[in-house]
Amino acid sequence: AQKITQTQPGMFVQEKEAVTLDCTYDTSDPSYGLFWYKQPSSGEMIFLIYQGSYDQQNATEGRYSLNFQKARKSANLVISASQLGDSAMYFCAMREGRVNAGNMLTFGGGTRLMVKP
Amino acid sequence: DTGVSQDPRHKITKRGQNVTFRCDPISEHNRLYWYRQTLGQGPEFLTYFQNEAQLEKSRLLSDRFSAERPKGSFSTLEIQRTEQGDSAMYLCASSSWTSGSPGGELFFGEGSRLTVL
């Protein structure tokens, strides 16, 4: 089974609107971490947001928030007030086990987001 | 620039030749990772160092691949007897685990793109 599944290969959103990128994960480890990265056409992977499995509240970082539903094993990224510069590939990733054991991440296949002016 | 730097950014080689990539992590980061990304896919974990110790190796890392981090600072990834299937982007990342980054998020370099003819 896929450990990280991103079911939306591509999405369009109108500038200034909010958009949700889906991510589901599969693990039996009670300790894990979930990450979202942005990869613009330049190729660099840019860290956006992190959620630990024991965190009680959903993570937020500026316009990014993570809708963490542990029972459903989903970690969707919400981008508010989309900007043209948000057009990029977005990857969801998971670390299984505790962070002090190292961050060997498993990535999903990505979602290409295109923001329309 | 205090980010992760990789060299060379692009390498074109003929099948059967050896290639070496270098990664200079963020100076205060003791953890270093190599990932491989093929076109249209998410990155795949190759190997992980904590200081100079190589602690994890993926099964993707065949015996033609070797990685070193001799003094716990920069790292090299060598591919011997390259094959066309080795064509990919090779990404280096570094991290540290501090109270300021409880998830120990990875900071990626811009990658080294390998093309094997």
Tens-digit pLDDT profile for chain A (117 aa)?
A: 679 999 999 999 999 999 999 999 999 999 999 999 999 998 889 999 999 999 989 999 999 999 999 999 999 999 999 999 999 999 999 998 877 777 889 999 999 999 999
The closest CB to that of A47, out of B55, B106, B110, belongs to B106
The SS3 of residue B105 is coil
Q: Are the Cβ atoms of B111 and A102 closer than 8 angstroms?
A: no
Query: pLDDT tens digits for B49-69?
Result: 998 999 989 988 889 999 999
User: What is the amino acid identity at position A84?
Assistant: L
Q: Are the Cβ atoms of A102 and B42 closer than 8 angstroms?
A: no
Largest CA distance in chain B: 46
Q: Are the Cβ atoms of B41 and A91 closer than 8 angstroms?
A: no
Q: Count chain A–chain B contacts defined by CB atoms under 8 A.
A: 71
Across A1-33, b (16+ Cβ under 10 Å) vs e yields eeebbbebeeeebeeeeebebbbbbebeeeebb
How many CB atoms lie under 10 A from the CB of residue B65? 19
For residues A85 and B71, give the distance between their C-alpha atoms in angstroms, rounded to a whole number: 39
For residues B57 and B27, give the distance between their C-alpha atoms in angstroms, rounded to a whole number: 23
User: What is the amino acid identity at position A15?
Assistant: E
